[in-house]
Amino acid sequence: MSALLEVAGLTRRFGGLIAVDSLDFAVEPGEIVGLLGPNGSGKTTVLNLLSGVLRPDAGRIVFRGQAIAGSPAHRIARLGMARTFQLVRPLASLSCRDNVLAGLAFGRRNAWGDAARAEADRLLERVGLGLAGDTLPGALTYIDQKRLELARALALQPELLLLDEWLAGLNPTELDAGIALVRGLSGQGITILLVEHVMDAIRSLCRRCLVMNTGRLIATGSPAEVLADPEVVRAYLGDEADA
Amino acid sequence: MTGRDLSLAAGAAIAVGALAVVPLVLGDYGLSLAINIASYTVLATAWSLFSGPTRYVSLATVAFFGIGAYTTAVFAETLAWPLVLAIAAGVGIVVAALVGLSTLRLSGVYFVVFSFGLAELVRQLVTWFEVNRTRTLGRYVFTDITAAQIYWQLLALAVLVFAAGFWIGRSRLGLALRAIGDDETVARHAGIDTTRAKLALFVLSTLFMTLTGAVMAPRWTYIDPAIAFNPVVSFTVLIMALLGGVHRLYGPVLGVVPLALLFELLLARFPNHFSIMVGLVFIVIVYLIPRGMVGLVEDAVRKPA
Amino acid sequence: MLIETTLSGVILGGMYALVALGLTLQYGVARIMNLSYGELLIAAAFAALWFSSGLMVNPLIGLLVVPPAAFAVSYVIYRVLLAPLVRRAANRDALEVDSILATFGLLFVIQGVMLAAFGGAYFSYSFLAVPVQIAGVTVAANRLLALVLALAIGLGLYLALTRTRLGTAVRAVAVDPTAAQLVAIDVRAVAAFAFALGGALTAAAGVLVSMFLTFNANLGVVFTLKALVVVIMGGVGNLLGALIAGLILGLVENYVAVLVDPGLTLAATYAIFLIVLLLRPQGILGRANR
């Protein structure tokens, strides 16, 4: 079986700083892969490179057999890669339904009209916002705005979903619901790459993790394996942990 | 079509019918005022068609208006009128596409700067061409088009620009543009080709400006680059649209009518201090009515409840 | 002829850089996109004219008086006219749009006042209009003096920004207003100061330009445009970038005027502007944002 996403030699610099340094990894269809690392290690930059916000300085990104490095974001989205943002970014002047409709109308579904509106409502219900169709995102709580972002991403009918700290900031009950939701999406056949700090979520969702530090991949393996890796411990806690 | 749409269409038809008889009722002065209002209605509505949802402040209105006016000056004598309008539209579309393709990828501020100078650039290029190729600067516009005919053409353009705005508001393009106005990065991640959407709207919006210039040109008997590309036009359109409110289709008209009348008055009373007055009016509007007349109207409707 | 063109291109470019310095402070630090910028410059040129032709004194005296006056005027403009917009703006984009609109209105007010006072006629005065030989090329002494003074002012500003406490605060605000606040810098006071200083620099440029250029009340827009192009090309808030962009612009304009056609200089300006923006949207020396 060939990989859904293949990254080779991916590199991006900001001025003198190398944010992502010749990264290699692959994601197989159906996986839930965790992308870990201390703050500033380059995780969000990786998501920005994958989804087309940033152009890589070097390297290859192959998604569903197509080279997409440097492609515009809208083309990558239509190819079936959707994402959420670390800080929620709802379209503030659009109702929740229209937020989702945007993804339906311009993504792979190419849907419009009453059928598309019904589908948007169905997706809102799927993430637990069934009654919010006519509400403006500003009236939602933070967690509900996160749900809305997820619904908008799902509207693209993605094969690969990039979640950027989507589970951060939730209380224990919400976290359980969020984990169940992500697992449900995976059950529908959506492959998921998630950047996350919440270790409980990582442990219960991911079979495989990638750990980054200062732009480089320092460990891969199961959550238990990578968390036991001395280099990972050093990256999180600093050199004193050596002693 | 829903019942609301039907009554809206019926109301619009009655309004257009009433406006169409204006030239038969008014004298010369009244008609010239009506032409002024009609032309600014088209320009300001077309302006906010693009600048409202995308939040790109365009100062290039007169570049396209002038292109239209100049096309008329060049071809009106030799070609049939519909052909003249078609040529003006064609030139306007090509220029808009070139400008749009090269600037709409840039952030909003760069677009403002570029559009700020576009009229000046086109004016210099036209001047250069006229001086070096045709060896004349300034042309006489000879047509047998009457003031009433100009008014009716402008009214037709106004109907078209409103119809276009109405259609866009309900189309995918409209949704795409509102998404872009909110957050362009998110819009792209929803699969929207933001450059193409902005370009399509920019071309459509400037097409109306070009045609307005072409239709208005016979009002002057003599035209030169300084008249056709007068930056005050861009400024006036911007301030009228802002006073009215750019987030509703009917907004700009609410700014056009009072300001057209006010400017008429100021121009008659203070011909030498006109630009000071206009500048002050503008500053007052930016500070006191940031959401435009539409905002005032909506607040008034909401409060009494 | 090539040397002559190059030299006058360098002089023109140096002036453009000076003209742009004020704007880069106003836009880069105070975040005000000031469309009435060129009008202030022309007003300063008229003031210099008044010193030279009205009071019959050396226009260089104007250089001591006019910029401080412009500093005061700009400070008041910022405090009265622009500070409310800064307070009202939800984010940087909103402030940019609001400041564009407000200063656009201001443009017409200042221009209207000058038109009412001087009409649309062109003015100039004669000061040091004697030829000087440099490396076998003839240059007017007033242009040379203007360039030297422009370089001195630019160098002075650079030193002030890099070597003084206030200068460091100004640069901090330019890079990141939020972070500057965290290290106890009064961002609003610094922004007002930077806007006023930008106004003073503009006025200095106006005085210098008036020594060798024929001007009228309508010319401000051209300077605003050139300054905007230089600032954006060089990278917003970057003094060295503004100098490089100014020189590029001056040289290209002169070459086009001499070798191609004087009527196409603005087209050349725009062509470079667009090429730079398409290749390096952050400007020649600007930094990419994450």
**Token representation of residue C132:** 């000087």
User: pTM for the full model?
Assistant: 0.82
When scoring A91, A112, A114, A148 by the number of chain B Cβ atoms within 10 A, the one with the most, hence best to mutate, is A91
- Higher model confidence: residue A164 or residue C278? A164
pLDDT exceeds 80 at position B2:
no
Give the pair of three-digit tokens for residue A210.
Answer: 């990638």
User: Which tokens go with A76?
Assistant: 């990558």
Whether residue C289 has pLDDT greater than 60: no
Angle at C251 between CA C246 and CA C256, to 5 degrees: 130
Residue C286 has pLDDT above 70, yes or no: no
B170 part of contact set with chain C, CB < 8 Å: no
SS3 for chain B, per residue?
Answer: CCHHHHHHHHHHHHHHHHHHCHHHHCCHHHHHHHHHHHHHHHHHHHHHHHHHHHCCCCCCHHHHHHHHHHHHHHHCCCCCHHHHHHHHHHHHHHHHHHHHHHHCCCCHHHHHHHHHHHHHHHHHHHHHHHHHHHCCCCEECCCCCCHHHHHHHHHHHHHHHHHHHHHHHHCHHHHHHHHHHHCHHHHHHCCCCHHHHHHHHHHHHHHHHHHHHHHHHHHCCEECHHHHCCHHHHHHHHHHHHHHCCCCCCHHHHHHHHHHHHHHHHHHHCCCCHHHHHHHHHHHHHHHCCCHHHHHHHHHHHCCC
Query: Does a structural domain hold residue B129?
Result: yes
Share of chain B above pLDDT 90, in %: 27
pLDDT of residue C290: 35
Res B303: pLDDT: 58
Q: What is the CATH number of domain C2-279?
A: 1.10.3470
List C residues 261-290 in contact with A (Cβ-Cβ < 8 A).
287-288, 290
Which tokens go with C88?
Answer: 């009202």
Query: 3-state class of A219 per DSSP?
Result: strand
* Cβ neighbours for C25, distance < 8 A, ≥ 6 positions apart: C170, C194, C195, C197, C198, C201
Yes or no, beta carbons of A74 and B194 under 8 Å apart: yes
Architecture of domain A5-80+158-242: 3-Layer(aba) Sandwich (3.40)
- What value does the mean pLDDT of chain A take? 87
Backbone angles phi, psi at C275, to 5 degrees: -60, -45
Nearest-by-Cβ selection for C287 from A15, A19, A45: A15
Of B124, B238, B282, the CB nearest to C267: B124
Mean per-residue pLDDT over chain B, rounded: 85
Residue C20's nearest CA partner among C237, C271, C277, C275 is C237
**In this structure, is residue B51 part of a structural domain?**
yes
Which pLDDT does position C281 carry in this prediction? 67
Give the pLDDT mean for A58-87. Answer: 90
Count Cα atoms within 13 angstroms, Cβ side, for B157: 32
Residue range of the domain that includes B172: 25-230
Within-domain flag for B49: yes
Asked whether residue B255 is domain-assigned, the answer is no
C290/A14 touch (CB, cutoff 8 Å), yes or no? yes
Q: How many CB atoms lie within 10 A of CB C240?
A: 14
**Chain B partners within 8 Å of C93 (Cβ):** 55, 108
3-class SS at A27? strand
Mean pLDDT of C119-141: 72
What span, in angstroms and rounded, lies between the C-alpha atoms of B251 and C23?
34
Q: Provide the pLDDT for residue B154.
A: 93
Number of domains making up chain B: 1
- CB contacts of B110 in chain C (<8 Å) are 232, 277, 281
* Domain spans in chain A, listed from the N-terminal domain onward: 5-80+158-242, 93-152
pLDDT recorded at residue A240: 53
Q: In this predicted model, what pLDDT tens digit does every residue of B124-163 receive, in sequence order?
A: 888 888 888 777 778 888 888 888 889 999 999 999 999 9
Nearest neighbour of C97 by CB, restricted to B57, B59, B281: B57
* Chain B environment of A51 (Cβ under 8 Å): 189
DSSP E strand boundaries for A15-155: 17-27, 32-36, 58-63, 66-67, 81-83
Q: Mean pLDDT across the stretch C134-154?
A: 77
Question: What does the pLDDT read at residue C105?
Answer: 86
The overall average pLDDT reported for chain C is 81
**What's the pLDDT tens digit per position in B31-71?**
889 999 999 999 999 999 998 888 888 888 999 999 999 99
**Four-point Cα dihedral B240, B242, B246, B252, nearest 10:** -20
CB pair distance less than 8 Å for B190 and A98? no
| Residue A99 at interface with chain C, using a CB cutoff of 8 Å | no
- Subunit contact B172:A155, Cβ cutoff 8 A: no
CB atoms within 10 A of CB C219: 20
* Nearest CB to C261 within list B128, B272, B274: B128
Q: So where are chain C's domains? A: 2-279
Residues in B 226-245 with any Cβ partner in C closer than 8 A: 231, 235, 238-239, 242
CB pair distance less than 8 Å for C96 and B280: no
Q: How confident is the model at residue C175 (pLDDT cuts 50, 70, 90)?
A: confident
ipTM: 0.85
pLDDT in tens, B68-119: 999 998 888 888 889 999 999 999 999 999 888 877 777 667 788 788 778 8
